[in-house]
Copies of this chain bind each other. A is one copy, B any other.
């Protein structure tokens, strides 16, 4: 064993262990398995042809620039485009307040780097996005968890947790990963008021905001915050850092996302990003700009909404058809995930193994809880974006067999 290295690992990395989900996703890649485990977009809607045209155009017209080093902040026309698109949702950011990141995961890492001293508390939803926990863990974060229900974060429980002095809150208001729930308009308002009262900033992670399949768009926290602060001066002030991404609307393989933050925060983040990877691929930024421009992105998002809405409906229908009445699940109005809850006492890790035996996979819920996740033992995250409708139906049928077996065995052992 290479003890020379092990004895030198920094304290921050000692708790970092291979994520359960990582190991698990390897297993679920066997071709005979129908996987609801990954958070993968549907490859059949990737705009491959448009990417090809964009690559051709970029290399023909801007080859020397697109293959060269670029600015840490990102490609200016892409930042402008992002700022213009966000303005539609009332997010009036200047391009200078937009930092292009190598996926939203990098945005989370930069936030951890910027804000977390070892031992600092971060307020997260229970459950929350696993990747955020991984990003924050390495900086020594401790967590305060606030549960969600069908209307998102339970703001009624928030005040007590805010009194414990978290460094910031990390919230996914739209079609949350993993639970698929959306923060209601009233709770958004309450959240902003409480954040202001206790002076706790917010990280608003919004990867799925554009993928709404029913109901009305709700105002982002970053906008409510500015209205509350009565600021009309663009984006120079604010208590919210807003994150979004092209991973779910164009393609995740290009690793392009962005963060929006007040002037002094963005300039600090730019410095940290420079030390982390200099800048995000110039080529990919040029290509994404060419792919997205002239209304293509809007048109493409409409297509994705249609495809994913159908898949969600097929999954909801199949759950109704096949699942026993003891199991409940969320009704996501958008996004990629649905969250199923088994009766108390169910062991979702055992259920996972039983499901694999039936050639179907999901992610056990315990992965999505800070503080070791004992609360998550009876939940499953089910992805509905990746598989074809007929696979979804068949996968839920297979899963129902494992679920029923598991319910019987739990009954027997209890």
Contacts and interface: CB of A to CB of B under 8 A. Distances in A.
Contact of A105 (B66, B67, B277): B277
Given A60-B52, A263-B2, A272-B138, A278 B114 contact: no
A252 B394 CA distance: 46
B67 A251 contact: yes
A398 to B, nearest CB: 23
A267 interface: yes
Contacts of A120: 10
A131 B265 CA distance: 21
Contacts of A86: none
Interface string A291-330: 0000000000000000000000000000000000000000
A201 B283 contact: no
Contacts of A67: 43, 46, 48, 51, 251-254
A13 interface: yes
A106 B254 CA distance: 17
A120 B253 CA distance: 36
Contacts of A255: 102, 277-282
Nearest to A48: B63
A224 interface: no
A208 interface: no
A29 to B, nearest CB: 10
A105 to B, nearest CB: 5
Interface in A50-74: 51-52, 55-56, 59-60, 63-70, 72
Given A46-B63, A63-B51, A109 B276 contact: yes
A212 B62 CA distance: 29
Contact of A52 (B56, B199, B201): B56
Contacts of A63: 43, 46, 48, 51
Interface stretch (A15-23, A179-187, A334-342): A15-23
A35 interface: no
Given A68-B252, A254-B283, A114 B9 contact: yes
A352 B35 CA distance: 59
A41 B68 contact: yes
Interface residues of A, number: 89
A253 B19 contact: no
Interface in A115-138: 115-117, 120, 131, 134-135, 137-138
Nearest to A109: B276
A198 B1 CA distance: 18
B114 A10 contact: yes
Given A11-B117, A55-B52, A254-B67, A275 B137 contact: yes
A9 B113 CA distance: 9
B281 A69 contact: no
7 contacts: A4-B239, A5-B265, A10-B114, A43-B63, A102-B281, A105-B275, A281-B281
Interface of A: 1-2, 4-6, 8-13, 16-19, 22, 38-41, 43-44, 46, 48, 51-52, 55-56, 59-60, 63-70, 72, 102-103, 105-106, 109, 113-117, 120, 131, 134-135, 137-139, 167-168, 199, 201, 236-239, 247, 251-255, 262-265, 267-268, 271-272, 274-284
Given A2-B238, A43-B63, A43-B65, 6 more contacts: A5-B264, A55-B59, A68-B252, A70-B253, A109-B276, A254-B281
Question: Top 8 closest A-B pairs, CB basis?
Answer: A43-B64, A67-B251, A253-B282, A48-B63, A55-B55, A67-B253, A134-B275, A106-B277
